Copies of this chain bind each other. A is one copy, B any other.
Amino acid sequence: MNLLQNYLSGRWQAGTGQGTPLLDPVLGTELARVSSAGLDLADGFTFARETGGNALRAMTYRERAGLLAAIGKVLQANRDAYYEIATANSGTTKKDSGVDIDGAIFTIGQYARWGEALGDVRALSDGAPARMSKEPAFLSQHVLVPTRGVALFINAFNFPAWGLWEKAAPALLSGVPVIVKPATATAWLTQRMVADVVEAGVLPAGAISVVCGSSQGLMDALKPFDVVSFTGSAETAGVIRSHKAVAQLSVRANIEADSLNSALLLPDAAPGTPAFDLLVAEVAREMTVKSGQKCTAIRRVLVTAAHYDAVAQAISAKLAKVTVGNPRNDTVRMGALVSREQLDNVKAGLAELRGQTDVLHDGASAPLVDADPAIAACIGPVLLGTRSPATADRVHAVEVFGPVATLMPYDGLEQAYDFIRRGEGSLVASVYSADAAQIAETALALADSHGRVHAISPEVAAVQTGHGNVMPMSLHGGPGRAGGGEELGGLRALGFYHRRSAIQAETAAIDAVTAASTPFAR
Protein backbone atom coordinates (compact mmCIF):
# COMPACT_ATOMS: atom_id res chain seq x y z
CA MET A 1 0.00 0.00 0.00
CA ASN A 2 1.44 3.35 -1.10
CA LEU A 3 0.26 5.55 1.77
CA LEU A 4 1.23 9.16 1.11
CA GLN A 5 2.92 10.72 4.12
CA ASN A 6 1.83 13.95 5.76
CA TYR A 7 4.38 16.67 6.50
CA LEU A 8 3.54 18.31 9.81
CA SER A 9 5.51 19.56 12.82
CA GLY A 10 8.57 19.58 10.57
CA ARG A 11 8.57 15.83 9.91
CA TRP A 12 6.98 13.21 7.70
CA GLN A 13 4.18 11.36 9.45
CA ALA A 14 1.92 8.53 8.31
CA GLY A 15 -1.74 8.58 9.20
CA THR A 16 -3.23 5.49 10.76
CA GLY A 17 -5.70 3.04 9.26
CA GLN A 18 -6.24 1.80 5.72
CA GLY A 19 -6.60 5.26 4.26
CA THR A 20 -8.63 6.41 1.28
CA PRO A 21 -7.56 5.31 -2.20
CA LEU A 22 -6.66 7.67 -5.06
CA LEU A 23 -7.65 6.25 -8.44
CA ASP A 24 -6.69 6.63 -12.07
CA PRO A 25 -9.95 8.06 -13.45
CA VAL A 26 -9.39 6.49 -16.89
CA LEU A 27 -8.12 3.04 -15.93
CA GLY A 28 -9.81 2.75 -12.53
CA THR A 29 -6.60 1.48 -10.90
CA GLU A 30 -5.49 2.47 -7.42
CA LEU A 31 -2.51 4.83 -7.36
CA ALA A 32 -1.97 5.63 -3.68
CA ARG A 33 -3.78 6.14 -0.40
CA VAL A 34 -4.09 9.00 2.02
CA SER A 35 -4.81 9.19 5.73
CA SER A 36 -4.61 12.02 8.23
CA ALA A 37 -6.00 9.89 11.03
CA GLY A 38 -4.12 10.12 14.31
CA LEU A 39 -2.09 13.22 13.47
CA ASP A 40 -1.49 15.74 16.25
CA LEU A 41 -2.92 18.71 14.38
CA ALA A 42 -2.68 21.12 17.32
CA ASP A 43 1.04 20.44 17.59
CA GLY A 44 1.51 20.77 13.85
CA PHE A 45 -0.32 24.08 13.68
CA THR A 46 1.62 25.43 16.67
CA PHE A 47 4.90 24.40 15.06
CA ALA A 48 3.95 26.16 11.82
CA ARG A 49 2.64 29.24 13.64
CA GLU A 50 5.67 29.64 15.89
CA THR A 51 8.70 28.06 14.25
CA GLY A 52 7.58 28.74 10.68
CA GLY A 53 6.03 32.12 11.38
CA ASN A 54 8.97 33.45 13.38
CA ALA A 55 11.44 32.40 10.70
CA LEU A 56 9.42 33.88 7.86
CA ARG A 57 8.67 37.16 9.64
CA ALA A 58 12.35 37.58 10.46
CA MET A 59 13.04 37.70 6.72
CA THR A 60 12.38 40.68 4.45
CA TYR A 61 10.06 40.67 1.43
CA ARG A 62 13.07 40.41 -0.86
CA GLU A 63 14.38 37.42 1.06
CA ARG A 64 11.01 35.71 0.99
CA ALA A 65 10.76 36.42 -2.73
CA GLY A 66 14.00 34.47 -2.95
CA LEU A 67 12.25 31.52 -1.33
CA LEU A 68 9.61 31.66 -4.05
CA ALA A 69 12.23 31.73 -6.78
CA ALA A 70 13.87 28.69 -5.19
CA ILE A 71 10.53 26.85 -5.05
CA GLY A 72 10.01 27.65 -8.73
CA LYS A 73 13.35 26.08 -9.57
CA VAL A 74 12.55 22.93 -7.60
CA LEU A 75 9.21 22.54 -9.36
CA GLN A 76 10.73 23.22 -12.76
CA ALA A 77 13.32 20.51 -12.13
CA ASN A 78 10.63 17.95 -11.31
CA ARG A 79 8.17 19.03 -13.97
CA ASP A 80 8.16 15.76 -15.91
CA ALA A 81 7.17 13.79 -12.82
CA TYR A 82 4.24 16.15 -12.24
CA TYR A 83 2.94 15.61 -15.76
CA GLU A 84 3.07 11.86 -15.17
CA ILE A 85 1.16 12.17 -11.92
CA ALA A 86 -1.43 14.43 -13.57
CA THR A 87 -1.99 12.01 -16.43
CA ALA A 88 -2.46 9.13 -14.00
CA ASN A 89 -4.41 10.84 -11.21
CA SER A 90 -6.31 13.62 -13.00
CA GLY A 91 -6.77 11.90 -16.36
CA THR A 92 -5.83 15.08 -18.17
CA THR A 93 -4.18 15.57 -21.55
CA LYS A 94 -0.70 17.04 -21.56
CA LYS A 95 -2.09 20.44 -22.54
CA ASP A 96 -4.62 20.38 -19.73
CA SER A 97 -2.03 19.22 -17.20
CA GLY A 98 0.02 22.23 -18.25
CA VAL A 99 -2.75 24.63 -17.24
CA ASP A 100 -2.32 23.34 -13.69
CA ILE A 101 1.42 22.64 -13.50
CA ASP A 102 2.90 25.37 -15.67
CA GLY A 103 0.25 27.77 -14.38
CA ALA A 104 1.60 27.11 -10.88
CA ILE A 105 5.22 27.68 -11.88
CA PHE A 106 4.32 30.85 -13.79
CA THR A 107 2.38 32.26 -10.84
CA ILE A 108 5.20 31.56 -8.37
CA GLY A 109 7.62 33.27 -10.72
CA GLN A 110 5.44 36.36 -10.92
CA TYR A 111 5.22 36.69 -7.14
CA ALA A 112 8.96 36.13 -6.84
CA ARG A 113 9.53 39.07 -9.21
CA TRP A 114 6.93 41.31 -7.58
CA GLY A 115 8.24 40.43 -4.12
CA GLU A 116 11.84 41.20 -5.07
CA ALA A 117 10.73 44.76 -5.84
CA LEU A 118 9.33 45.19 -2.33
CA GLY A 119 12.87 45.26 -1.03
CA ASP A 120 14.48 44.58 2.32
CA VAL A 121 11.74 45.70 4.67
CA ARG A 122 9.26 43.83 6.88
CA ALA A 123 6.24 46.12 6.59
CA LEU A 124 4.28 47.86 3.86
CA SER A 125 3.00 51.41 4.11
CA ASP A 126 -0.56 51.89 2.90
CA GLY A 127 -1.17 55.34 1.51
CA ALA A 128 0.41 58.62 2.54
CA PRO A 129 0.48 60.07 6.07
CA ALA A 130 -2.70 61.99 6.88
CA ARG A 131 -2.80 65.08 9.06
CA MET A 132 -4.84 64.59 12.23
CA SER A 133 -5.06 68.27 13.09
CA LYS A 134 -4.53 71.63 11.47
CA GLU A 135 -0.94 71.50 12.64
CA PRO A 136 1.04 68.94 10.62
CA ALA A 137 2.75 67.70 13.79
CA PHE A 138 0.43 64.74 14.45
CA LEU A 139 0.00 62.24 11.61
CA SER A 140 -1.74 58.97 10.80
CA GLN A 141 0.09 56.42 8.67
CA HIS A 142 -1.55 53.13 7.72
CA VAL A 143 0.70 50.09 7.53
CA LEU A 144 0.32 46.44 6.58
CA VAL A 145 2.20 43.84 8.60
CA PRO A 146 2.06 40.04 8.29
CA THR A 147 -0.54 38.32 10.45
CA ARG A 148 1.01 36.24 13.26
CA GLY A 149 -0.70 33.02 12.28
CA VAL A 150 -0.86 30.21 9.74
CA ALA A 151 -2.63 30.09 6.39
CA LEU A 152 -4.74 26.95 6.07
CA PHE A 153 -5.65 26.02 2.50
CA ILE A 154 -8.48 23.55 1.96
CA ASN A 155 -8.26 22.99 -1.74
CA ALA A 156 -10.26 21.66 -4.67
CA PHE A 157 -9.55 18.58 -6.79
CA ASN A 158 -9.28 20.36 -10.12
CA PHE A 159 -6.05 22.28 -9.54
CA PRO A 160 -3.75 20.23 -7.27
CA ALA A 161 -0.70 22.22 -8.43
CA TRP A 162 -1.87 25.75 -9.23
CA GLY A 163 -4.45 25.66 -6.42
CA LEU A 164 -1.66 25.26 -3.89
CA TRP A 165 0.85 27.71 -5.30
CA GLU A 166 -1.45 30.55 -6.34
CA LYS A 167 -2.31 30.76 -2.62
CA ALA A 168 1.07 29.80 -1.15
CA ALA A 169 3.07 32.31 -3.20
CA PRO A 170 1.40 35.43 -1.72
CA ALA A 171 1.18 33.79 1.74
CA LEU A 172 4.88 32.94 1.93
CA LEU A 173 5.83 36.28 0.41
CA SER A 174 3.76 37.90 3.17
CA GLY A 175 5.63 35.93 5.83
CA VAL A 176 2.80 33.56 6.69
CA PRO A 177 3.40 29.77 6.94
CA VAL A 178 1.20 27.49 4.86
CA ILE A 179 -0.68 24.30 5.73
CA VAL A 180 -2.36 22.72 2.70
CA LYS A 181 -5.08 20.07 2.72
CA PRO A 182 -5.50 18.96 -0.89
CA ALA A 183 -8.72 17.36 -2.11
CA THR A 184 -8.33 13.63 -1.65
CA ALA A 185 -9.08 12.59 -5.25
CA THR A 186 -5.96 14.35 -6.62
CA ALA A 187 -3.87 14.81 -3.46
CA TRP A 188 -0.86 13.04 -4.94
CA LEU A 189 0.43 15.93 -7.04
CA THR A 190 0.12 18.44 -4.20
CA GLN A 191 1.84 16.06 -1.80
CA ARG A 192 4.64 15.36 -4.28
CA MET A 193 5.30 19.05 -4.90
CA VAL A 194 5.51 19.74 -1.16
CA ALA A 195 7.78 16.70 -0.77
CA ASP A 196 10.12 18.01 -3.47
CA VAL A 197 10.27 21.46 -1.86
CA VAL A 198 10.88 19.96 1.58
CA GLU A 199 13.53 17.62 0.17
CA ALA A 200 15.30 20.53 -1.49
CA GLY A 201 15.52 22.31 1.87
CA VAL A 202 14.72 25.72 0.40
CA LEU A 203 12.18 26.77 3.05
CA PRO A 204 12.65 27.37 6.78
CA ALA A 205 11.23 24.68 9.08
CA GLY A 206 7.50 25.06 9.57
CA ALA A 207 6.98 27.25 6.51
CA ILE A 208 5.04 24.58 4.65
CA SER A 209 3.01 21.56 5.78
CA VAL A 210 0.72 19.16 3.96
CA VAL A 211 -2.10 17.08 5.41
CA CYS A 212 -3.61 14.48 3.07
CA GLY A 213 -6.90 12.84 3.87
CA SER A 214 -9.82 14.09 5.92
CA SER A 215 -10.28 17.75 6.81
CA GLN A 216 -11.62 16.67 10.18
CA GLY A 217 -10.16 18.75 13.00
CA LEU A 218 -8.35 21.26 10.79
CA MET A 219 -10.72 24.14 11.51
CA ASP A 220 -10.61 23.32 15.23
CA ALA A 221 -6.85 23.92 15.19
CA LEU A 222 -7.20 27.55 14.06
CA LYS A 223 -6.57 30.55 16.32
CA PRO A 224 -7.61 34.21 15.92
CA PHE A 225 -4.67 35.39 13.81
CA ASP A 226 -4.79 32.44 11.40
CA VAL A 227 -6.51 32.63 8.03
CA VAL A 228 -8.28 29.96 6.01
CA SER A 229 -8.70 29.88 2.25
CA PHE A 230 -11.17 27.39 0.86
CA THR A 231 -11.93 26.41 -2.71
CA GLY A 232 -14.81 24.02 -3.28
CA SER A 233 -18.54 23.66 -2.91
CA ALA A 234 -20.89 26.30 -1.53
CA GLU A 235 -22.14 23.74 0.96
CA THR A 236 -18.72 23.12 2.53
CA ALA A 237 -18.06 26.86 2.38
CA GLY A 238 -21.10 27.35 4.61
CA VAL A 239 -19.74 24.84 7.11
CA ILE A 240 -16.39 26.63 7.19
CA ARG A 241 -17.90 30.06 7.67
CA SER A 242 -20.20 28.79 10.42
CA HIS A 243 -17.32 27.16 12.27
CA LYS A 244 -16.40 28.68 15.62
CA ALA A 245 -12.97 29.70 14.29
CA VAL A 246 -14.52 32.05 11.72
CA ALA A 247 -17.80 32.95 13.43
CA GLN A 248 -16.40 33.57 16.90
CA LEU A 249 -12.60 33.91 16.71
CA SER A 250 -12.63 36.21 13.66
CA VAL A 251 -10.36 33.91 11.66
CA ARG A 252 -10.35 35.43 8.19
CA ALA A 253 -11.92 33.18 5.58
CA ASN A 254 -11.48 33.47 1.84
CA ILE A 255 -13.99 31.41 -0.10
CA GLU A 256 -14.15 30.48 -3.75
CA ALA A 257 -17.26 28.42 -4.43
CA ASP A 258 -19.74 27.80 -7.24
CA SER A 259 -20.00 30.07 -10.25
CA LEU A 260 -22.18 30.21 -13.35
CA ASN A 261 -19.86 32.23 -15.56
CA SER A 262 -21.19 33.86 -18.68
CA ALA A 263 -20.01 34.65 -22.19
CA LEU A 264 -21.84 37.60 -23.74
CA LEU A 265 -21.88 38.26 -27.47
CA LEU A 266 -22.57 41.98 -27.86
CA PRO A 267 -25.11 43.07 -30.51
CA ASP A 268 -22.48 44.31 -32.98
CA ALA A 269 -20.95 40.83 -33.33
CA ALA A 270 -23.02 39.24 -36.06
CA PRO A 271 -22.20 35.95 -37.80
CA GLY A 272 -19.26 36.48 -40.13
CA THR A 273 -17.59 39.06 -37.90
CA PRO A 274 -14.33 38.24 -36.13
CA ALA A 275 -15.94 38.85 -32.70
CA PHE A 276 -18.57 36.22 -33.48
CA ASP A 277 -15.89 33.68 -34.37
CA LEU A 278 -13.95 34.57 -31.24
CA LEU A 279 -16.96 33.77 -29.05
CA VAL A 280 -17.51 30.45 -30.79
CA ALA A 281 -13.87 29.43 -30.38
CA GLU A 282 -13.70 30.57 -26.76
CA VAL A 283 -16.89 28.79 -25.70
CA ALA A 284 -15.80 25.53 -27.33
CA ARG A 285 -12.38 25.80 -25.72
CA GLU A 286 -13.71 26.71 -22.27
CA MET A 287 -16.19 23.83 -22.34
CA THR A 288 -13.46 21.30 -23.05
CA VAL A 289 -10.28 22.49 -21.31
CA LYS A 290 -9.78 20.20 -18.30
CA SER A 291 -13.09 18.61 -19.35
CA GLY A 292 -14.88 21.73 -18.16
CA GLN A 293 -13.61 21.25 -14.61
CA LYS A 294 -12.58 24.87 -14.11
CA CYS A 295 -14.38 27.14 -11.66
CA THR A 296 -13.98 29.82 -14.30
CA ALA A 297 -15.35 27.82 -17.27
CA ILE A 298 -18.18 29.29 -19.34
CA ARG A 299 -21.54 27.87 -18.21
CA ARG A 300 -23.95 30.32 -19.85
CA VAL A 301 -23.67 31.78 -23.36
CA LEU A 302 -25.81 34.85 -24.10
CA VAL A 303 -26.43 36.00 -27.67
CA THR A 304 -29.04 38.16 -29.36
CA ALA A 305 -32.08 36.13 -30.34
CA ALA A 306 -31.33 36.63 -34.04
CA HIS A 307 -27.98 34.84 -33.72
CA TYR A 308 -29.08 31.99 -31.46
CA ASP A 309 -29.22 29.37 -34.22
CA ALA A 310 -26.01 30.49 -35.90
CA VAL A 311 -24.13 30.34 -32.61
CA ALA A 312 -25.62 26.94 -31.76
CA GLN A 313 -24.46 25.52 -35.07
CA ALA A 314 -21.01 27.02 -34.96
CA ILE A 315 -20.24 25.86 -31.43
CA SER A 316 -21.67 22.41 -32.13
CA ALA A 317 -19.45 22.08 -35.20
CA LYS A 318 -16.40 22.79 -33.04
CA LEU A 319 -17.47 20.38 -30.31
CA ALA A 320 -18.08 17.62 -32.85
CA LYS A 321 -14.34 17.53 -33.52
CA VAL A 322 -13.41 16.92 -29.87
CA THR A 323 -12.14 13.38 -29.31
CA VAL A 324 -12.57 12.10 -25.77
CA GLY A 325 -10.86 9.31 -23.88
CA ASN A 326 -7.49 8.13 -22.58
CA PRO A 327 -5.08 11.10 -22.47
CA ARG A 328 -2.16 8.74 -23.18
CA ASN A 329 -3.47 8.50 -26.74
CA ASP A 330 -2.16 11.44 -28.77
CA THR A 331 -5.35 11.74 -30.81
CA VAL A 332 -7.39 12.48 -27.68
CA ARG A 333 -8.27 16.17 -27.22
CA MET A 334 -10.18 15.83 -23.94
CA GLY A 335 -9.39 13.44 -21.11
CA ALA A 336 -11.41 12.34 -18.12
CA LEU A 337 -13.30 13.93 -15.30
CA VAL A 338 -11.52 13.49 -12.03
CA SER A 339 -13.57 10.54 -10.78
CA ARG A 340 -16.61 8.37 -11.38
CA GLU A 341 -18.26 10.32 -8.59
CA GLN A 342 -17.81 13.52 -10.58
CA LEU A 343 -19.10 11.75 -13.66
CA ASP A 344 -22.23 10.87 -11.73
CA ASN A 345 -22.56 14.48 -10.56
CA VAL A 346 -22.22 15.76 -14.12
CA LYS A 347 -24.85 13.31 -15.35
CA ALA A 348 -27.20 14.31 -12.56
CA GLY A 349 -26.67 17.99 -13.33
CA LEU A 350 -27.24 17.40 -17.01
CA ALA A 351 -30.48 15.58 -16.25
CA GLU A 352 -31.64 18.53 -14.16
CA LEU A 353 -30.81 21.09 -16.85
CA ARG A 354 -32.30 18.97 -19.61
CA GLY A 355 -35.68 19.40 -17.96
CA GLN A 356 -35.56 23.07 -18.97
CA THR A 357 -33.39 23.00 -22.09
CA ASP A 358 -32.90 21.46 -25.52
CA VAL A 359 -29.78 19.49 -26.34
CA LEU A 360 -28.03 21.39 -29.13
CA HIS A 361 -24.96 19.16 -29.27
CA ASP A 362 -24.76 15.79 -27.55
CA GLY A 363 -21.24 14.49 -27.16
CA ALA A 364 -22.20 12.48 -24.10
CA SER A 365 -22.98 9.34 -26.04
CA ALA A 366 -20.01 9.50 -28.45
CA PRO A 367 -17.56 6.57 -28.26
CA LEU A 368 -14.41 6.96 -26.14
CA VAL A 369 -10.88 6.54 -27.46
CA ASP A 370 -8.84 3.87 -25.62
CA ALA A 371 -11.12 3.95 -22.62
CA ASP A 372 -13.77 1.66 -21.21
CA PRO A 373 -17.00 3.59 -20.67
CA ALA A 374 -17.84 1.24 -17.80
CA ILE A 375 -14.67 2.30 -15.97
CA ALA A 376 -13.41 5.64 -17.28
CA ALA A 377 -14.79 8.92 -15.88
CA CYS A 378 -15.10 10.30 -19.40
CA ILE A 379 -17.93 12.22 -21.02
CA GLY A 380 -18.03 14.25 -24.22
CA PRO A 381 -19.14 17.88 -24.37
CA VAL A 382 -22.82 18.81 -24.28
CA LEU A 383 -24.25 22.12 -25.46
CA LEU A 384 -27.70 22.86 -24.11
CA GLY A 385 -29.98 25.71 -25.08
CA THR A 386 -33.11 27.44 -23.93
CA ARG A 387 -35.14 30.10 -25.69
CA SER A 388 -36.78 31.01 -22.37
CA PRO A 389 -33.93 32.01 -20.06
CA ALA A 390 -36.29 34.15 -17.96
CA THR A 391 -38.24 31.10 -16.80
CA ALA A 392 -35.54 28.41 -17.02
CA ASP A 393 -34.35 29.12 -13.49
CA ARG A 394 -32.10 26.04 -13.23
CA VAL A 395 -29.68 27.25 -15.89
CA HIS A 396 -28.81 30.22 -13.67
CA ALA A 397 -28.43 28.14 -10.51
CA VAL A 398 -27.02 24.69 -11.31
CA GLU A 399 -23.31 24.53 -12.03
CA VAL A 400 -22.55 21.31 -13.91
CA PHE A 401 -18.84 20.86 -13.26
CA GLY A 402 -17.96 19.28 -16.60
CA PRO A 403 -18.00 19.97 -20.36
CA VAL A 404 -21.47 21.51 -20.36
CA ALA A 405 -22.79 24.97 -21.23
CA THR A 406 -26.19 26.47 -21.98
CA LEU A 407 -26.94 28.86 -24.84
CA MET A 408 -29.65 31.50 -24.36
CA PRO A 409 -30.95 34.54 -26.26
CA TYR A 410 -31.40 38.05 -24.89
CA ASP A 411 -33.46 41.01 -26.02
CA GLY A 412 -31.50 44.17 -25.33
CA LEU A 413 -28.41 44.59 -23.18
CA GLU A 414 -30.28 45.42 -19.97
CA GLN A 415 -31.99 42.05 -20.23
CA ALA A 416 -28.66 40.35 -20.87
CA TYR A 417 -27.26 41.94 -17.70
CA ASP A 418 -30.34 40.81 -15.77
CA PHE A 419 -29.88 37.22 -16.95
CA ILE A 420 -26.18 37.29 -16.09
CA ARG A 421 -26.93 38.71 -12.63
CA ARG A 422 -29.29 35.81 -11.98
CA GLY A 423 -26.10 33.84 -11.40
CA GLU A 424 -26.02 35.84 -8.12
CA GLY A 425 -22.32 36.57 -8.38
CA SER A 426 -19.78 34.86 -10.63
CA LEU A 427 -16.04 34.65 -11.04
CA VAL A 428 -15.87 35.90 -14.59
CA ALA A 429 -17.91 37.08 -17.54
CA SER A 430 -16.48 37.46 -21.02
CA VAL A 431 -17.64 39.96 -23.59
CA TYR A 432 -17.16 39.70 -27.37
CA SER A 433 -17.29 42.79 -29.56
CA ALA A 434 -15.30 45.06 -31.82
CA ASP A 435 -16.71 48.16 -30.08
CA ALA A 436 -14.28 49.36 -27.40
CA ALA A 437 -16.68 51.94 -25.95
CA GLN A 438 -19.45 49.37 -25.60
CA ILE A 439 -16.98 46.92 -24.04
CA ALA A 440 -16.09 49.49 -21.40
CA GLU A 441 -19.74 50.25 -20.65
CA THR A 442 -20.66 46.56 -20.40
CA ALA A 443 -17.61 45.77 -18.28
CA LEU A 444 -18.53 48.47 -15.77
CA ALA A 445 -22.14 47.24 -15.72
CA LEU A 446 -21.04 43.67 -14.93
CA ALA A 447 -18.24 44.58 -12.54
CA ASP A 448 -20.38 44.53 -9.39
CA SER A 449 -21.36 40.89 -9.84
CA HIS A 450 -18.05 39.54 -11.19
CA GLY A 451 -14.51 39.34 -9.91
CA ARG A 452 -13.30 39.66 -13.47
CA VAL A 453 -14.68 40.83 -16.81
CA HIS A 454 -12.73 39.56 -19.79
CA ALA A 455 -13.24 41.33 -23.11
CA ILE A 456 -12.23 39.60 -26.33
CA SER A 457 -12.08 41.84 -29.37
CA PRO A 458 -10.45 41.30 -32.76
CA GLU A 459 -7.76 43.78 -31.73
CA VAL A 460 -6.49 41.37 -29.04
CA ALA A 461 -7.47 38.04 -30.57
CA ALA A 462 -3.88 36.83 -30.66
CA VAL A 463 -2.79 38.05 -27.23
CA GLN A 464 -5.89 37.76 -25.02
CA THR A 465 -5.27 35.42 -22.13
CA GLY A 466 -8.48 33.40 -22.25
CA HIS A 467 -11.83 33.66 -20.47
CA GLY A 468 -11.02 30.93 -17.97
CA ASN A 469 -7.30 31.37 -17.47
CA VAL A 470 -6.59 32.96 -14.15
CA MET A 471 -3.67 35.33 -14.54
CA PRO A 472 -1.87 36.46 -11.37
CA MET A 473 -2.14 40.13 -12.37
CA SER A 474 -5.92 40.09 -12.06
CA LEU A 475 -8.28 39.43 -9.19
CA HIS A 476 -9.60 35.87 -8.90
CA GLY A 477 -12.83 35.47 -6.96
CA GLY A 478 -16.37 36.68 -7.15
CA PRO A 479 -19.23 37.89 -4.96
CA GLY A 480 -22.32 36.02 -3.77
CA ARG A 481 -22.60 32.47 -5.05
CA ALA A 482 -18.93 32.57 -6.07
CA GLY A 483 -18.03 32.84 -2.38
CA GLY A 484 -17.09 36.48 -1.97
CA GLY A 485 -13.36 35.76 -1.99
CA GLU A 486 -10.46 37.68 -3.46
CA GLU A 487 -7.25 35.95 -4.58
CA LEU A 488 -4.33 37.10 -6.72
CA GLY A 489 -4.71 40.51 -8.37
CA GLY A 490 -0.97 41.14 -8.21
CA LEU A 491 0.16 42.38 -4.82
CA ARG A 492 -3.49 42.83 -3.76
CA ALA A 493 -3.27 39.16 -2.72
CA LEU A 494 -0.91 40.15 0.09
CA GLY A 495 -3.75 42.01 1.83
CA PHE A 496 -5.39 38.78 3.00
CA TYR A 497 -2.19 37.72 4.79
CA HIS A 498 -1.49 41.11 6.34
CA ARG A 499 -3.14 43.17 9.06
CA ARG A 500 -3.83 46.82 8.43
CA SER A 501 -3.17 49.23 11.25
CA ALA A 502 -3.21 53.01 11.56
CA ILE A 503 -0.21 54.42 13.39
CA GLN A 504 -0.93 57.85 14.85
CA ALA A 505 2.19 59.62 16.06
CA GLU A 506 4.46 62.61 15.86
CA THR A 507 6.22 63.33 12.56
CA ALA A 508 9.59 61.89 13.60
CA ALA A 509 8.02 58.56 14.55
CA ILE A 510 5.98 58.40 11.33
CA ASP A 511 9.16 59.13 9.38
CA ALA A 512 10.81 56.16 11.09
CA VAL A 513 7.81 53.95 10.23
CA THR A 514 7.83 54.88 6.56
CA ALA A 515 11.61 54.46 6.40
CA ALA A 516 11.10 50.86 7.60
CA SER A 517 8.44 50.04 5.00
CA THR A 518 7.79 49.95 1.26
CA PRO A 519 4.69 51.61 -0.24
CA PHE A 520 1.98 49.06 -0.95
CA ALA A 521 1.24 49.97 -4.55
CA ARG A 522 -1.03 47.93 -6.72
Chain A interface residues (CB < 8 Å from chain B): 122-123, 126-128, 130-133, 135, 137-138, 140, 142-143, 145-148, 224-225, 234, 237-238, 241-242, 244, 246-250, 252, 255, 257, 421, 424-425, 436-437, 439-441, 443-444, 446-455, 457, 459-460, 463-465, 471, 473-475, 479-484, 486, 489-490, 492, 499-506, 508-513, 516, 521-522
Q: Which residues of B contact A451 (CB under 8 A)?
A: 500-502
Q: Which residues of B contact A473 (CB under 8 A)?
A: 130-132, 140, 502
Q: Are A479 and B225 in contact (CB under 8 A)?
A: yes
A415 to B370, CA, bound (A): 67
Q: Are B142 and A249 in contact (CB under 8 A)?
A: no
Q: Are A501 and B447 in contact (CB under 8 A)?
A: yes
Known: A126-B522, A509-B436. Contact between A247 and B238, CB under 8 A?
yes
Q: Which residues of B contact A464 (CB under 8 A)?
A: 132, 138, 504
Known contacts A241-B247, A454-B505; 20 additional CB pairs below 8 A are: A132-B464, A140-B473, A140-B474, A148-B448, A148-B449, A225-B448, A225-B480, A250-B257, A436-B508, A440-B505, A443-B501, A447-B499, A447-B503, A451-B500, A451-B501, A452-B503, A453-B504, A460-B506, A465-B504, A479-B499
Known: A224-B424, A448-B147, A522-B127. Contact between A503 and B453, CB under 8 A?
yes
Known: A448-B225, A448-B499. Contact between A242 and B250, CB under 8 A?
no
Known: A424-B224, A522-B127. Contact between A465 and B133, CB under 8 A?
yes
Q: Which residues of B contact A508 (CB under 8 A)?
A: 436-437, 459
Q: Are B145 and A480 in contact (CB under 8 A)?
A: no
Q: Can you name the residue of chain B whose Cβ is closest to the Cβ of A483? A: B250
Contact of A436 among B482, B484, B506 (CB under 8 A): B506
Copy tally for this chain in the complex stands at 2
A269 CB, nearest partner CB in chain B, Å: 14
Known: A504-B465, A504-B474. Contact between A444 and B250, CB under 8 A?
no
What are the 7 A-B residue pairs with the smallest beta carbon separation, nearest first? A224-B480, A440-B512, A127-B522, A250-B484, A474-B502, A455-B505, A436-B508
Residue of A246, A437, A452, A503 ringed by the most chain B CB atoms within 10 A: A503
Q: Are A501 and B453 in contact (CB under 8 A)?
A: yes
Q: Can you name the residue of chain B whose Cβ is closest to the Cβ of A421? A: B148
A250 CB, nearest partner CB in chain B, Å: 4
Q: Can you name the residue of chain B whose Cβ is closest to the Cβ of A501? A: B447
Q: Are B448 and A146 in contact (CB under 8 A)?
A: yes
- 22 residue pairs A–B, Cβ–Cβ below 8 Å: A133-B463, A137-B463, A138-B464, A142-B492, A143-B447, A145-B444, A146-B448, A225-B449, A225-B479, A225-B480, A234-B248, A241-B242, A241-B246, A436-B511, A440-B503, A440-B512, A440-B513, A444-B516, A447-B499, A447-B501, A457-B506, A474-B504
Q: Are A448 and B501 in contact (CB under 8 A)?
A: yes
